[in-house]
Structure 1
Amino acid sequence: MQAEPLTLFCLPCAGASATMYLRWKARLPGWIDVQPVELPGRGTRLAEPCVEDFERLASRLCDELRGHGRLESYALFGHSMGALLAYGMTQRLRAAGAPLPRALLASGSPAPARRDTQGLPGKHDDAALIADLRRQDGTPEEVFANPELLRITLDTLGADYRVCESFGYRESAPLNIPVHVLAGRGDAIEPACMAAWRQETDVAFSLDWFDGGHFFIRQQERQVLSALERILSGQRVEVPDAAPVAT
């Protein structure tokens, strides 16, 4: 039986652009229409100023989503900061009575109620930002070797960290849509902070673990895309209580 067509809007991590999801267009089945979301201040929207406030950015993205015209059947996916934005968008769409996504898929991000912004690098400290890029191991070496490209990356990353710092969690009723979480076994995020996404839904929840660090979605792309296809096609997903121990 052919799966129902679905639009998958994908929100990037801090410092990144929509290009991080371009490969997925050719690697996911045709019934999943991958739509990478470009944020202001990068990629095709480089001429626009970055939005550095979480509430304003999430609201703006909701306005743009409602104008997209593909909301009959869609899901939201985000990695790291993108997961937080996807959550904020879903909350705003619910408050506005707009069509909700079929599912919220959060990758590499602690649950909104368990976020700790105290550990973010300094807003204007290049050395701390570079160290963070190195630690997360998701930035090509060519970026560090190119002063102009590195400057753009650091400016964008700094703006995105200010977005994350401005987020304030407000307890609300659980969402009535499934929440599916993807996590890296080698990521620095505590397993309990990933499992806490469970409280954000009163229907289906799943938590999948993958080998790799914060950018496991690149390191284990084939397995991640296979999991996304399985989740979006409505197949049951097992929920482990904690991160498996890597062997």
Structure 2
Amino acid sequence: MTEGATGGWFPSDIGTGSAEYLLFCFPHGGGGASAFRHWKAELSPRIEVVPVQLPGRESRFTEPLLTSAEAVVTALLKPLSAHAREPFALFGHSMGALLAYEAAVALTEQGLPPARLFASGHHPPHLPNATPALRGATDQEFAERLADFGGTPAELLDNPVMMDCLMPRLRADFEICETYRHSQRSPIPVPITVFAGREDPAVDVSELGRWGELTTEGAEVHILDGGHFCHVGPNEAGVREILAESLEGTSQR
């Protein structure tokens, strides 16, 4: 399958292996598909990891950035529905969790609900975003907030040339999150598994159970040690194990 067939959103070899399940993975704000490259080798061989590549980053660096969740999902829906063979699931971290949820809603409306939604590092989308907005912030204020979240190497934050290159992408992604407004709709028939760090400055862990209000199939919450990027580092093997157990336990429809 060529990149043209996937629109650049997914790896060109999607669906060519013998895996039984597809796991579409949405990156965090400022991130790209490479964030999930090692998962392809480290998850169960029964699961094919399909990183989602948004416009304006990595292999799609020259393409215009999108600045709203609606724009991303509208552009992604056709290629995603074309390649999402059942059973499949969606995983997203931070901004990616928001996009994965909206994609799950859109797919459900088309009669193609995912077997499971994995949401990491994000508050329930129907609740207000309590994190102070960064629209209009200076580059220095942006860098300081990124340092609070962790996950960005200090040598990158201290490199003006690299930050100048990354700043448009970061601002576009923060705009996606800060301008998002949840629209009233029925809960989706998709079970949700939630991950979050106890020390995450962007998430109130006491509210995470309210992800369950967005589904008819229940929400399972895992509170992990660490901050915003709790799904990687020491917790990563455990997160991958939960992903595999949850997805492999899904009965095929």
Q: TM-score normalized by structure 2?
A: 0.86
Match of 2:6 in 1: none
Match of 1:234 in 2: 249
Any conservation in 2 of the 1:122–1:128 contact (CA below 8 Å)? no
- 1:67-116 per-position Cα deviation (integer Å, ceiling 9, x unaligned): 3x242221000000000001111111222x24121111100000011131
Any conservation in 1 of the 2:107–2:114 contact (CA below 8 Å)? no
- 1:24-74 per-position Cα deviation (integer Å, ceiling 9, x unaligned): 11110111100110101001110101001221111112122123x242221
Any conservation in 2 of the 1:124–1:158 contact (CA below 8 Å)? no
Match of 2:94 in 1: 80
Structure 1 residues 83 and 117, CA gap change in structure 2 (3 angstroms):
same
Check if 1:29 corresponds to 2:29.
Answer: no
- 1:14-33 per-position Cα deviation (integer Å, ceiling 9, x unaligned): 11111111111111011110
Match of 1:17 in 2: 32
Out of 101, 123, 140, the residue aligned to residue 127 of structure 1 is 140
Structure 1 residues 73 and 89, CA gap change in structure 2 (3 angstroms):
same
- 1:183-236 per-position Cα deviation (integer Å, ceiling 9, x unaligned): 11111211233221010111132111111100011222112111211221228x
Match of 2:77 in 1: 62
Out of 31, 40, 43, the residue aligned to residue 55 of structure 2 is 40
Any conservation in 2 of the 1:19–1:36 contact (CA below 8 Å)? yes
Within 1, Cα distance between the matches of 2:62 and 2:98? 24
Check if 1:112 corresponds to 2:125.
Answer: yes
Q: In angstroms, what is the RMSD of aligned CA positions?
A: 1.8
Within 2, Cα distance between the matches of 1:36 and 1:120? 28
Within 2, Cα distance between the matches of 1:98 and 1:158? 34
Within 2, Cα distance between the matches of 1:51 and 1:122? 15
Match of 2:239 in 1: 224
Within 1, Cα distance between the matches of 2:245 and 2:35? 21
Match of 1:51 in 2: 66
Stretches of structure 2 that go unaligned for 5 or more consecutive residues are: 1-18
User: SS where residue 37 of structure 2 aligns?
Assistant: helix
Any conservation in 1 of the 2:135–2:175 contact (CA below 8 Å)? no
Check if 1:207 corresponds to 2:225.
Answer: no
Match of 1:190 in 2: 204
Within 2, Cα distance between the matches of 1:98 and 1:45? 30
Check if 1:174 corresponds to 2:187.
Answer: yes
User: SS where residue 193 of structure 2 aligns?
Assistant: strand
Check if 1:154 corresponds to 2:167.
Answer: yes
Within 2, Cα distance between the matches of 1:221 and 1:153? 26
Q: TM-score normalized by structure 1?
A: 0.88
Shift in Å at residue 147 of structure 1?
Answer: 2.6
User: SS where residue 59 of structure 1 aligns?
Assistant: helix
Stretches of structure 1 that go unaligned for 5 or more consecutive residues are: 236-247
Within 2, Cα distance between the matches of 1:148 and 1:61? 31
Within 1, Cα distance between the matches of 2:159 and 2:192? 39
Match of 2:11 in 1: none
Please tell me the residue identity of whatever aligns with 2:113: L
Any conservation in 2 of the 1:15–1:153 contact (CA below 8 Å)? yes
135-144 or 25-34, larger mean C-alpha shift = 135-144
Any conservation in 2 of the 1:71–1:99 contact (CA below 8 Å)? no
Within 1, Cα distance between the matches of 2:72 and 2:95? 12
